[in-house]
Structure 1
Amino acid sequence: MRARGPIGVFTAVALVAGAGAFFYSRNVVPSTAQTPAAPPPAVTVAAPLVQKLVDYDEFTGRFEPTATVEIRPRVSGYITEINFTDGQVVEAGQTLFVIDQRPYETALAQAEATLAGARAQLTFAEADAKRSQELVRSSNIAVATHEQRVQQRQAADANLRAAEAALKRARLDLDFTEVRSPLRGRVSNRRIDLGNLVTGDGASTVLTNVVAQDNLYFTFDISEGDLRARRRAPGSAARDGHGMKVDARQDGEASWTQSGVLDFLDNRLRPGSGTIRARATFPNPDGALTPGQFGRIRLPRGDAYEAVLIPESAVMNDQYNKVALVVDDGNVVRQRQIKLGPAQRGGLIIVREGLKANERVVINGLMQAKPNQPVRPQPGSIEQNDVPAS
């Protein structure tokens, strides 16, 4: 068998290459067209919502009664009546307890008798002094005797006043045997039962207590920084004094259901906490508020102003800054660094700085919008629904 040489191998390779080129030229047509560029992404844009708003500061506090009275006996004796049910609403002047009145009725009768005797003594002494005065003029008695009778009249007059005071005291003690509520409010549970002996020494056991509920205080603390910011706000010079209208809500409520008036701001900051105590008064005619419960209060910081609002979903984070994306006249995305205010109902938030009312803000499609890149803006709108802000 004859061996193949280099020339034979080269010839075979050339034939295979030529066949491949012929096959490619018959089946593949070279293209001269370029792939079209992708269109800019579509985003939804809208002008910020402009509304006249008032900024509020919110604080946590507690509802407290405007008055709390501990009911104590003012005279001693045995409890003979308890005229209330634990926890009921009592009226001012309503009798809650009765202390055994018999000793005090006896003392009153004795005081009345003493007063009658003192009046009789004074009548006799006045008549005797009048007679002695006439006898002195006719020199029938000595002047010293007349002076003695005048002194007896004066002593009888003093005894009469003492008897009148004793009668008033006896009547007062008898009146104190009926322990009454000094105000309208809700009474606590009784601390003593029928038949127990109480003493009216001023340090006796508390019988019960009554708290006023028609009006309640809301007490809260304002930090030094918040107080300074409030006083710097436009139109707020008088907003830390009496008479400012405020709103409150109970813990767990979504809306501000209570309307009241700020009536107290303390005269100094507490050195330890750097806060100042404040108080507002709220009417509570239906008893919906319970003394001691927590709640929140909001105070207007300044006067109403034209606020710029955008959806919270349109706000992005850029490291430590908050930014929003806007589309300029050439449909190119621009980034705006913004300063935010408090959140509002309906998922909106106030933009204090960084946006103008006529700019087109990207409110949908933020993931597709890139700064300094073109987009296809689609018109949208920013509306505020009735969903309360958290």
Structure 2
Amino acid sequence: MPPPEVSIAEVVSREVQPWDEFTGRVSAVESVELRPRVSGYVERVAFKEGQEVAKGDLLFVIDQRRYRADLDRAQAQLAQARSESELARTQHARAQSLVEAKAISTEEFESRRAGRSQAEAAVRAAEAAVANARLDLQFTEVRAPISGRAGRALVTAGNLAQADATVLTTLVSLDPVHVHFEADEQTWQRYAAQAGEQRAVQDNAVRVGLGGEGGEDRFRHAGKVDFVDNQIDSGTGTIRVRAVVPNPDRLLTPGLFARVRMQGRDRHQALLIDDQAVLTDQDRKFVYVLGEGNAAERRDITLGRASGDLREVSAGLAPGDKVIVHGVQKVFFPGMPVSPTTIEMGGAPQVASAGSGPAGPAGGGQ
């Protein structure tokens, strides 16, 4: 039989930026349960459920008639207090001229001065009552405290809303969003050793991908770490980390499952191979490399992180080694001669004969 045809590729040696991958959840930066500040019957719902609203937009209107009456009464009491204050001021001025002429007693003068002070205090109290009544009237118009997306109206027109108790609707901000995930102890210690500080992952770049996003650009949303918890959870052996991610296209909805890649800081030179070249022998990983006389030689290897479409090899290979990538299922024993065709690492197979397609990592166990 002629030697089997295989595709070989030279081990790639290049500088890589490591990434660690985690599971996370998207959450809103700001989330509000909207409650009224005054009690009353809801007169109108002024927004469309599920729409985006801007800060200050009118959302609910509570019956204003009672609060308008309270404001009118407070304004009338203020006018009365100002009139009495003016009279007390006039009486005090007259008493001051009379006491200088010794036409009235000092006791009566002190009484009129005290009356003026009481009238001025009453004016200030009436002004505060007007301000409070005006504030209550403003609170009958419930406005959005943040910009974001409104939920459904939990209270409709005609229902009674209790101050500080009834939830009218919910608001969540949309841009940016937070992504919460948890890093294990070993990963945390590695980052701490690289940075030489406790806030080891602060400001690290992250890439976020959603469950429904695939392909080469599946981690398409870029952000950075902005918060790390102050302790490790002893129950799970993890520490909570939070990233902030811009969301201009509104694809990151609060509550979504997300995959997070966090960028490490230790750029290093690495050897990379195609995952399709890796075979499994019980608990060991190995590849076949092209040896002298086009013979297939077995090399036990230690795998590292994924780097794009390739996989790091931390031990077992050297620069310049040529690895059999496609057709490895036709290599039945070490030292078997093969007919090689050279391709780029990660490229398509060039083996012409049938059954020479790519083999999976477990396809050639010994």
Same fold flag (TM > 0.5): yes
CA RMSD of aligned residues (A): 2.5
Cα offset, 1:111, TM superposition: 1.2
- Note if 1:283 corresponds to 2:243: no
Bigger mean CA deviation after superposition, 61-70 or 122-131:
122-131
| 1:140 to 2:103 alignment | yes
Partner of 2:211: 251
**Deviation at residue 69 of structure 1 after TM alignment:** 1.0
Distance 1:139 1:385, change over 3 A: farther
1:50 aligns with one of 5, 8, 13 = 13
- Candidates 165, 169, 182, aligned match of 2:132: 169
**Match of residue 318, structure 2, among 348, 356, 364:** 356
- Aligned CA distance change for structure 1 residues 241 and 119 (closer, same or farther; 3 Å): farther
Q: Work out the CA distance in 1 between the residues paired with 2:150 and 2:272.
A: 50
- Going from structure 1 to structure 2, the CA distance change for 1:214 and 1:257 (only over 3 Å counts) comes to same
Q: Secondary structure at the match of 1:246?
A: strand
Any idea what the Cα deviations from partners look like across 1:343-381, whole Å, max 9, x if unmatched? Answer: 3444x211122211122333345443743x374663513
The alpha-carbon distance between structure 1 residues 320 and 304, as it changes in their structure 2 partners (threshold 3 A), is: same
Q: Deviations over 1:201-235 (max 9, x none)?
A: x22x2111111112211111112222123333x46
Conserved 8 A contact 1:43-1:375: no
| 1:368-379 map, 5 Å | 368=331, 370-371=333-334, 373=335, 375=337, 378=340
CA–CA distance in structure 2, aligned partners of residues 271 and 362 of structure 1: 45
Residue of structure 2 in register with 1:130 after alignment: 93
Could you tell me how far apart the structure 1 residues matched to 2:42 and 2:6 are? 82
Q: Give TM-score, length-normalised by structure 1.
A: 0.80
Structure 1: gaps of 5 or more residues: 1-37
2:23 counterpart SS class: strand
Residue 38 of structure 2 aligns to a residue in which SS?
coil
1:272-291 Cα offsets, whole Å, 9 max, x none, are 22211111112222322221
C-alpha deviation, 1:74, in angstroms: 1.4
Q: Which moved more, 1:314-323 or 1:185-194?
A: 314-323
CA distance 1:238–1:44, shift in 2 (3 Å): farther
Is the CA contact (8 Å cut-off) linking 2:18 and 2:307 kept in structure 1?
no
The 8 Å contact of residues 235 and 303 in structure 1, kept in 2 or not, is answered as no
Distance 1:87 1:374, change over 3 A: closer
Q: CA deviation at 1:39?
A: 7.9
1:380 paired to 2:342: yes
Relative to the length of structure 2, the TM-score reads 0.85
1:197 paired residue among 157, 160, 165: 160
Match of 1:208 in 2: 169
Give, in angstroms, the shift of residue 318 of structure 1.
3.4
Selected match of 2:29 from 66, 90, 108: 66
Q: Does 1:242 align with 2:209?
A: no
Matched, 1:155 2:118: yes
Q: How much identity, in percent, do the aligned residues show?
A: 39
Asked if 2 retains the 8 angstrom alpha-carbon contact of 1:327 and 1:334, the reply is: yes
- Partner-residue secondary structure (3-state), 1:73: coil
Please state how far the C-alpha of 1:326 moved relative to its aligned partner: 2.9
The alpha-carbon distance between structure 1 residues 238 and 383, as it changes in their structure 2 partners (threshold 3 A), is farther
Pick the structure with greater CA Rg.
Answer: 1
The alignment covers a number of residue pairs equal to 344
- Give the letter aligned to residue 177 of structure 2: L
Native 8 Å contact 1:345 1:384 kept in 2: no
In structure 1, distance between residues paired with 2:147 and 2:347: 43
Inter-partner Cα distance in structure 1 for 2:70 and 2:176: 41
1:53–1:305 Cα contact (<8 Å) kept? yes
Query: 1:268: how far off?
Result: 0.7
1:92 maps to amino acid: K
Secondary structure of 1:269's counterpart equals: coil
The 8 Å contact of residues 6 and 339 in structure 2, kept in 1 or not, is answered as: yes
The reply on whether 1:225 has 2:186 as its aligned counterpart is yes
DSSP-derived class of the 1:186 partner: strand
Q: Following the alignment from structure 2 to structure 1, what is the Cα–Cα distance between the partners of residues 226 and 24?
A: 15
**Cα distance in structure 2, aligned partners of 1:236 and 1:39:** 58
- Corresponding letter in the other structure for 2:182: D
Aligned equivalents of 2:2 and 2:52: distance in 1?
A: 75
